Structure formats: C-alpha cells, structure tokens
C-alpha cells in the first residue's frame, strides 16, 4: 500500500515551491487569477509575515502541495490512498479526482479567509500526555474554553480555544506530566466550536461546489476513515470545527497493512512534518487492534454500507456526533432541514422576518410570530420571507389559539391557505379547533396506500392529554360541521379520519410565555409513550416526531432532552435577545443582563379567567406584581363598580394612569358591536376587557421601548436566557449586538454534540468522569 500524505498549515517556509511554478504554468496562472496576486512571488519571496497569515498560508500550502503531487506522479507511480492534514485534505481530494485544481483552490482560499477573521483564539502543542489524560485534565479543571484540536500522534496533541485560557492552562498540563507545552502563534481557535461562524459561512459557500467520487480512497480528518462520496461536502464543512484525527487515520492504515516505508510526505522541500508522526504513532500505539477492525468490516458487510467510524483511541469523542448527526435525521428529512433545530414563534413578530430568513438560510426552521398582528401585516411578512429565501427553504408561521376570538383563527387559516404556507406551529391550544382542522384537511393527499400531509402541523403542548388530541384524528363532530358547511370536501373529511392532527409534537416545558411549569424529565417520556401508543392507529401515515422546547439555552440542556428521546429542539427565549428579534433595544439590554433567577409567573393577558400563566422577566419591573393585583381584583369583584376606592385609585393612578371609565370609553369606541353588547350585559366581562388593556399596553410599551413606562414592561422570557447569558459570558456573544440567531443556534448544536460525545464516553467502560 502506497500512501501519500500532505502536510498542513505550519509547513510553509520562504522559498517553497521553487522550480515547481515554472514547471506548471497553467496551474500557476489559474492560481494567480483566483487569488488576485502572484502565488510564486509569495512563496518564493514572502515576506514571512504575509506567508504566515492564515488567509495566505492556506492557498500557498494547497498550491505547492498540489503541484508537488503532479510532479511526483509524473515521475513515478500513483498512490493507493491519500490523506492531508487539515487544509491539505483538499490537496488529497484533488489528488483523488474528487475536485479539480481550481475548485480546490477557491475552497481553500475562502476557508483561509474565514478562518483568518477569527480573533482571541490560541493553540498549544502538548507532548507526553495521551488523549485520555488530556480529556481528564480538561474535565477535572472545568476548562470549558479549551478543546483537543489535532490528534497528531497518540501523545502529541494540539489544544485549541480562547487564547487567555490556553496560556493559563500550561501549568495544569505541565503538572500532570506533559514534557512540552508550546503555545503556537495563531490567532484563531481552529478546529473547535469557536469556529462556528466560519463554518456557517463556509457551508453557504461550498453549497455551490460539487464533489466527484474519489478515484482512490481519501482519509477524512473528521472520521479517520475513507470519505464516502455522498458525504464529502458535509465532512469538509464539519472539519472546520471538528478535531483532526490524524493518529487514528495512521493507525487505521497500519491495521490495513501499511508500514512506515509505505508513507510518503508530499509537500514543501525541507524537514518533513507529517512523516515523523507515522513513526511516533507506530511506536506509541501501533495499528488498530484486529478486533476493532474486524467489527467494522463485519458491520459494513452486514449492511452493505460504508463501515461505521468509531474512534480508536479511548478518548472523547468516541461517538463522532456533530451538529448534523444529533437529533433525528427523519425529522430533518420530513421538514426539509439540515439541522434538528426550530426557532419557536414569539408573538407580535418578535420572531421576525429576519429571524425566520436567517434560520431558513442555515437549514433550520423558524416560525414567524403572527400572534397579535393584523392579517394584512402577516400576509406581507409571509410574502417578504418567501421572497428572501431560496425556493423550498424551510419556514413556518405561528398558529396561536384564540379562545375568546375564534374568528381570528379562521382568518389566519384563510391567509395561510392563500399564501401556501406549509408548516404551522400550533400553540396555546387546549383542544383542537375547526380552523386548525380545516388547515390540515386542505393539505392531505392520498397516493395509493399512503396518505401525506402537505400542510404540516408542529403542535406545542405542555400536557400529555393535549398531546393525545394532536396524536389522534380530528374529532368527528368538527369534521361533520366543516363538511356540512362546505369548508372541506367529503374526500378531505375521509382523509382526516386516517391521519393524526400533528406531524410533530413539541413538548414544552417551563418556558417563556404561556407555561404549565412542567418538567422535561416527566413530560417527554410521557408524551413519547402517548405517541408510541397512537402510531398503530394510522398505518397509512408516516412517523410523528417528538421534540422539546422550554428551558433550552445551553448545550447541557439540549443534550439532556435529546437523551430523553427528543428528536429536535425548539428555542425561544434565547432568540429574543438577538439582533434579529423585533423588540426594542431597551428590552434586549435588560435581557442581556438577566440571570436564571430573574423570571416570575404572571397571569396571561389572554386567558387569565382560566388561571393561565405566562413567564416574564421580573428584574427591575413591576409588571408581575401589578398583573397579579388586577387578576386578584377580577376574582374578588363582580364589576368595576365593586372595586374598593383605594384599589381603584391605585390601579388608575399607577397602573393605567387613566380612569377606568376612560379606558372603557376607548374600548367601546373600537371593539366589535357584539363584544360591546356582551360586556354591557355582563359586568364581569366588561371588567376583564378593561383589565386586559393593561396587559396589551404593557407588551406594546416593551416592544416600542417606551422608557417612561419601563417598570410596566411585559417581557415574556424563561430562565433559559439566564443560563445562556452565563454560558456565553466573557465571549464574543456577551453582548446581544453580536448575537445572530443562526450563529447561536449552530454554536448550541455544535457544543451539544461535544457534550454528548464527552458524556457518552465517560459512561463507557474505561471512561473517566
């Protein structure tokens, strides 16, 4: 077996490539045109300050290694397998025919440009400790800002993370037995979750490139096994944040029969860089054991698929989880997503057009917050979102229950059907309603033995009994009523009886907004059992997915609900404190400073008559106490006139800053006649309408940032945002002005995968907690 290896960043030196550039004028001209400068002049003459800048180093390394490969195969035999360290994995792909020279250089130039933007990061080479020892030091000392990034040999490992943390950790690793701890001169935390922004932008760039099936095996840095043709793009995107598993790659090749003499380093002339790593790996660990290799090959033969790729070293990550592989691939497929991530709706457009578009562009699902917005504005928002997203990109609209105003549900259904909105988030429902059933019916299609739903519903529920309603067919009484009125056809009525009302259930635990204060540890297993019990009732319909929302603001929280069985996660509160959220800067400033304990439960303005609660920010605000006072008076008194004089004076002067009579006059001038008639006939209802004005105004004051009413701001928020603030404290995401909804989503997913990899590893035999 002849293996060609290409060294990565760090192999550059002044004078490299001398003699190559003249031999390959066509490729050099292509490189100059792509880069906009002379690659030969940079490599041969420097200056070194430029050549060592990531955005220049990576194209230079790629070009020199690629030309060196062309020279090598022109004079001698071709390799049987190729592998490249970090950036030079693109050289390996070029050598194997998966990409052409120009495409590879464009990808490398973009990669280098994005990685060069990273600041505040650092790396350090640690010698003398193995992966398990390093992982234990990181875990025992809670070094949350440091990750193993390059596993060069079993006992030569490069750490990456925040620069201050990297420098400060030297004493810990030296004390644990490291023979050397060398801080490297780099500015980014390469191959860690800190590169999430670069990874996101690179993912968008690489989407326009195609990869051919390699003509010879190319070993992936991410999996330490040969690339599979259909996942090359995904692995190369992941490579930006994943560690380089170089020693595992060498051990796999050794196990496949390669010896030290079979490895050739193809790169800049000078002292070898990666060839010595082969000898060190051979001495420190040797090939993979035969049992591991046999198990992989047996599994591959049994499935007629590429072999699984468990890491060989007893260190995290053993399980190879990443942002694209956690959660449910089935959920992602059914909803057209890349990631199992949903941005939940927040009323009055707080989950804005910008928020939905950014999530959709990143392969995630965002719901526009249609609650509390007039229908023409909702229609305009849908049109604007669709215009900004590529055809077929995911997005949805919130479908909120209106117990007191069911006509609003009908109006929204008409709008959704008119605009062809294919996904809704059904929230605050205590029972399935005719309008929601009508939306569902108009999207049902029968194809022989199966029924599919074009109009899909993700139902947010906080009780298993409500979940059961959405996991059942539409009620017969509603189907009959809609059929009789002509709202649905007889065929649609029949199809409704063979499908559940929802395609997915979001189990909503203690969250911002409406909440039953549930715990995910009891709710998720209970709803999963309801789902499993119900699925036999719909043999012609596909699988119903179960996800989780509420309280998810950190990787640990997301990992916990995934372990419980959630197939996707839904975030809300953390998205309210981002650039894209459509609320005032004043609110975002307050949310940025909140802690986990800074929320309280207050009556729901829409449903306080039923005892419904919402969770809101309490820090520095009077709203929770004042809302409780109003609802207490509502329960004690039968009319506005029955309120005692002191209480009346208090709420008029401090809460409303207006007389109750004046408020009623204003309401009477605007409300529908039927509603006014009911209020005149039922004094208790009139009191509810007047009190509800405070709740509406409190939200409006917050959204508009009306500082003279700051103490009355109603800001729906759960403790997840406090946990998020604590998690990102001291990082680039400390300020909401640096938070983009898609970037924090990717960071959350990336680090959730890391948490799962680490936790699963510690639970395995030989693991270290």
Active-site annotation holds for 191 = yes
Tell me what pLDDT residue 613 has: 85
Give 518's pLDDT tier (boundaries 50, 70, 90).
confident
**Cβ–Cβ under 8 Å, residues 396 and 425:** yes
> How far is CA 539 from each of CA 444, 449, 471, 534, 571, rounded to the nearest angstrom?
15, 9, 13, 10, 32
Does the structure show a pLDDT above 90 at 340? yes
Residue that wins the pLDDT comparison between 144 and 656 = 656
Beta strand 504-508 pairing with 569-571: unpaired
* For residue 115, cis peptide bond before it (omega within 30 degrees of 0): no
**Residue 656 gets which letter from DSSP?**
I
What's the pLDDT tens digit per position in 354-409?
A: 999 999 998 899 999 999 899 999 999 999 999 998 888 899 999 999 877 889 99
Q: Provide the pLDDT confidence category of residue 309 given band limits of 50, 70 and 90.
A: very low
Each residue's pLDDT tens digit, 206-234: 988 999 999 999 999 999 999 999 899 99
Annotated active-site residue in 86, 88, 509, 584: 86
Q: How far apart are CA 511 and CA 518, in angstroms?
A: 9
Confidence (pLDDT) at 316: 37
Pinpoint the alpha helices (H) of 535-659.
555-564, 585-592, 623-636, 645-650
The residue with tokens 């490992």 is 157
33-70 pLDDT per residue, tens? 999 999 999 999 989 989 989 999 999 999 999 999 99
Q: Beta strands of 488-590 (E only): which ranges?
A: 504-508, 513-514, 545-549, 569-571
Cβ–Cβ under 8 Å, residues 273 and 267: yes
Tell me what the mean pLDDT of segment 577-589 comes to.
Answer: 95
- pLDDT tens digits for 61-110? 999 999 999 999 997 889 999 999 999 999 999 999 999 999 999 999 99
Residue 181 phi/psi, 5-degree rounding, is: -140, 100
User: What does the pLDDT read at residue 554?
Assistant: 96
**Residue 511, pLDDT above cutoff 90:** no
DSSP secondary structure letters along 662-723: HHHHHHHHHS-HHHHHHHHH-HHHHHHHHHHHHHHHHHHHHHHT-GGGGGG---B--THHHH
Query: Which pLDDT score is estimated for 290?
Result: 73
pLDDT at 404: 73
What's the pLDDT score for residue 304? 43
pLDDT band of residue 353 (cuts 50, 70, 90) is very high
Work out the angle between the directed axes of helices 406-419 and 434-441 (0-180°, nearest 10): 10
pLDDT at 767: 56
> With 60 as the cut, is the pLDDT of residue 310 above it?
no
Which pLDDT value is given to residue 764?
Answer: 67
Rounded Cα gap, residues 111 and 206, in angstroms: 10
CA angle 577, 566, 724 (to 5 degrees): 25
DSSP tag of 553: -
612 catalytic per annotation = no
Whole-number Å distance between alpha carbons of 689 and 103: 64
The mean-pLDDT minimum among 94-108, 145-159, 564-578, 601-615 falls in 601-615
Whether the per-residue pLDDT at 513 is higher than 90: the answer is no
Residue in this structure with the two tokens 């990669």, named with its chain if needed: 111
Q: Which residues on adjacent β-strands are paired with residue 150?
A: 158, 244
Residues 426-475: tens digit of each pLDDT: 998 989 999 999 999 999 999 877 899 999 999 999 999 999 999 999 99
Write down the pTM of the prediction.
Answer: 0.61
**Torsion angle defined by CA atoms of residues 568, 572, 574 and 580, in that order, rounded to the nearest 10 degrees:** 110
Q: pLDDT by residue (tens digit) across 219-277?
A: 999 999 999 998 999 999 999 999 999 999 999 999 999 999 999 999 999 889 999 99
Q: What is the pLDDT of residue 676?
A: 92
**Contacts of residue 612, Cβ cutoff 8 Å, sequence gap at least 6:** 514, 603, 604, 606
Split at pLDDT 50, 70, 90, the class of 299 is: low
Q: Which of 103, 160, 191, 699 is catalytic?
A: 191
**pLDDT at 319 exceeding the cut of 60:** no
pLDDT in tens, 721-748: 999 999 999 888 999 999 999 999 999 9
pLDDT recorded at residue 104: 96
Mean pLDDT of the chain: 91
Domains of the chain as residue ranges with CATH: 3-117+194-303 (3.40.366.10), 121-189 (3.30.70.250), 329-572 (3.20.20.70), 586-714 (no CATH)
């Amino acid at each position: 077996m002849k293996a060609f290896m290409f060294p990565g960043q760090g192999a550059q030196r002044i004078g490299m490539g001398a003699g190559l550039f003249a031999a390959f004028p066509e490729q050099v001209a292509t490189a100059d045109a792509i880069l906009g400068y002379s690659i030969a002049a940079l490599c041969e003459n420097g200056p070194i300050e430029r050549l060592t800048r990531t955005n220049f180093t990576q194209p230079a390394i790629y070009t020199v290694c690629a030309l060196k490969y062309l020279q090598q195969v022109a004079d001698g035999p071709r390799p049987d397998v190729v592998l490249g360290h970090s950036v030079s994995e693109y050289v390996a792909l070029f050598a194997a025919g998966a990409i052409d020279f120009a495409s590879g250089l464009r990808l490398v130039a973009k990669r280098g440009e994005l990685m060069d933007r990273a600041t505040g990061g650092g790396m350090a080479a640690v010698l003398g400790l193995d992966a398990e020892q390093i992982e234990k030091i990181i875990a025992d000392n809670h070094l949350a800002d440091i990750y193993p990034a390059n596993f060069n040999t079993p006992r030569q490992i490069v750490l990456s993370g925040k620069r201050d943390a990297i420098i400060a950790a030297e004493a810990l690793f030296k004390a644990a037995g490291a023979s050397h701890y060398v801080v490297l001169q780099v500015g980014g935390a390469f191959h860690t979750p800190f590169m999430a922004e670069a990874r996101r932008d690179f993912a968008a760039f690489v989407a326009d490139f195609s990869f051919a099936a390699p003509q010879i095996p190319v070993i992936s840095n991410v999996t330490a096994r040969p690339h599979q043709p259909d996942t090359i793009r995904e692995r190369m995107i992941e490579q930006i944040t994943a560690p380089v598993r170089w020693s595992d790659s060498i051990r796999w090749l050794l196990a496949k029969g390669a010896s030290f003499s079979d490895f050739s380093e193809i790169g800049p002339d000078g002292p070898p860089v990666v060839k010595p790593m082969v000898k060190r790996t051979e001495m420190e660990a040797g090939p993979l054991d035969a049992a591991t290799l046999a198990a992989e090959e047996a599994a591959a033969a049994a499935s007629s698929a590429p072999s699984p790729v468990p890491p060989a070293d007893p260190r995290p990550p053993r399980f190879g989880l990443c942002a694209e592989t956690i959660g449910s691939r089935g959920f992602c497929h059914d909803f057209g997503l890349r990631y199992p991530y949903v941005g939940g709706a927040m009323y009055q457009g707080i989950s804005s057009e910008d928020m939905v578009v950014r999530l959709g562009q990143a392969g995630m699902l965002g719901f526009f917050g249609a609650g509390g917005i007039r229908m023409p504005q909702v229609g305009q928002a849908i049109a604007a979102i669709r215009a900004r997203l590529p055809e077929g990109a995911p997005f949805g609209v919130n479908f909120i229950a209106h117990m007191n105003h069911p006509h609003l549900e009908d109006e929204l259904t008409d709008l959704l059907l008119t605009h062809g909105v294919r996904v809704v988030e059904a929230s605050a429902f205590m029972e399935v309603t005719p309008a929601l059933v009508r939306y569902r019916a108009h999207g049902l299609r029968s194809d022989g033995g199966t029924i599919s739903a074009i109009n899909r519903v993700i139902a947010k529920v906080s009780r298993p009994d409500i979940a059961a309603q959405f996991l059942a067919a539409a009620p017969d009484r509603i189907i009959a009523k809609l059929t009789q009125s002509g709202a649905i056809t007889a065929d649609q009525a029949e199809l409704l009886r063979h499908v559940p009302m929802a395609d997915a259930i979001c189990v909503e635990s203690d969250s911002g907004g409406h909440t039953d204060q549930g715990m995910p540890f009891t709710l998720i297993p209970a709803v999963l059992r309801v789902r499993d019990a119900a699925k036999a009732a719909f043999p012609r319909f596909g699988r119903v997915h179960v996800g989780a929302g509420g309280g998810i603001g950190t990787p640990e929280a997301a990992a916990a609900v995934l372990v419980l069985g959630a197939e996707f996660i839904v975030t809300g509160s953390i998205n309210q404190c981002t650039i894209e959220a459509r609320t005032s800067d004043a609110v975002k400033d307050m949310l940025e400073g909140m802690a986990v304990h800074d929320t309280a439960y207050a009556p729901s303005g829409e449903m306080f008559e039923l005892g419904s609660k919402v969770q809101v920010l309490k820090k520095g605000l009077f709203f929770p106490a004042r809302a409780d006072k109003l609802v207490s008076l509502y329960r004690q008194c039968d009319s506005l006139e029955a309120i005692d004089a002191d209480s009346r004076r208090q709420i008029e002067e401090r809460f409303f800053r207006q007389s109750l009579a004046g408020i009623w006059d204003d309401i009477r001038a605007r409300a529908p006649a039927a509603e006014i008639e009911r209020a005149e006939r039922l004094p208790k209802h009139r009191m509810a309408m007047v009190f509800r004005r405070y709740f509406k105004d409190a939200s409006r004051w917050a959204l508009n940032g009306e500082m003279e009413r700051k103490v009355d701001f109603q800001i729906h928020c759960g403790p997840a945002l406090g946990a998020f603030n604590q998690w990102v404290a001291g990082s680039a995401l400390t300020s909401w002005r640096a938070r983009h909804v898609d970037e924090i989503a990717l960071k959350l997913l990336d680090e959730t995968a890391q948490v799962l990899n680490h936790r699963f590893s510690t639970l395995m035999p030989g693991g270290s907690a």
